[in-house]
């Protein structure tokens, strides 16, 4: 999958059912590669732990697998490594640092060391800030009306998109949550087709 496809995917957010087959296939190849090695390419262990906890809070395990079960953290690490520019990676890592900074300011500990309710409070604050930013853009000048904030300027929006895309393009997320098949049913392109003009018994 090319970088332009990744950016297009980020633009549509969590609308996974509308992803083109080629883009979906690219994400599936990426997921398949995650079983080969769990070695991180971009994120530090601490950053990876932060991503894992955040993604699991957004997509928790219920009767179906959650973000952690489907290696969303590794998916995000690979996207950062293979499809983001150096500047985009730097902004994402800065966003993770801001998560810790906010948690330190409120609870005097890093995000991964905070309690579940405290972690939920931090994500809720990010969500409220995102909602306010999106409302501002939607009600802004006519040229921007209805537009969503740019992912590069809104870390939590970008993080949610990456987490949702990573989850819903995994085999478990796509088949169990969306009820879709990763591989469609068998199609035999070589089967003979009966002519519409063929008469019965001929």
pLDDT digits (tens, 9 = 90+) for 173-195: 766 655 554 444 343 444 444 44
Question: Could you say which residues of the chain have pLDDT below 70?
Answer: 1-23, 133-153, 174-202
Residue 195 lies in a domain: no
Residue 125 lies in a domain: yes
Structural domain tally of the chain?
Answer: 1
Residue 200 lies in a domain: no
- Rounded Cα gap, residues 35 and 40, in angstroms: 12
Residue 185 lies in a domain: no
* Rama region for 146: left / alpha / beta (φ>0; ψ in -120 to 50; rest): left
Give me the domain span that covers residue 94.
3-177
User: How do residues 39-55 score in pLDDT, each as one tens digit?
Assistant: 899 999 999 999 999 99
pLDDT recorded at residue 36: 74
Residue 46 lies in a domain: yes
Residue 189 lies in a domain: no
Residue 148 lies in a domain: yes
Residue 82 lies in a domain: yes
pLDDT recorded at residue 166: 87
- Contact call for residues 83 and 3 (beta carbons, < 8 A): yes
Q: What is the pTM of this model?
A: 0.72
């Amino acid at each position: 999958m090319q970088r332009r496809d990744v950016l297009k995917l980020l633009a549509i957010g969590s609308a996974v059912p509308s992803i083109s087959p080629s883009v979906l296939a690219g994400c599936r190849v990426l997921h398949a590669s995650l079983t080969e090695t769990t070695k991180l390419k971009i994120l530090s262990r601490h950053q990876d732990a932060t991503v894992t906890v955040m993604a699991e809070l957004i997509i928790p395990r219920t009767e179906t697998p959650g973000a952690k079960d489907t290696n969303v953290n590794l998916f995000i690490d690979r996207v950062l490594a293979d499809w983001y520019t150096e500047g985009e990676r730097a902004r994402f890592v800065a966003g993770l640092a801001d998560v810790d900074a906010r948690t330190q300011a409120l609870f005097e500990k890093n995000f991964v060391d905070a309690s579940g309710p405290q972690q939920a409070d931090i994500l809720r604050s990010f969500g409220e800030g995102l909602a306010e930013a999106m409302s501002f853009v939607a009600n802004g000048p006519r040229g921007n009306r209805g537009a969503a904030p740019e992912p590069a300027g809104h870390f939590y929006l970008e993080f949610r998109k990456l987490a949702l895309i990573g989850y819903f393009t995994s085999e478990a997320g796509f088949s169990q949550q969306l009820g879709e098949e990763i591989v469609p049913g068998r199609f035999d392109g070589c089967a003979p087709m009966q002519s519409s003009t063929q008469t019965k018994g001929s």
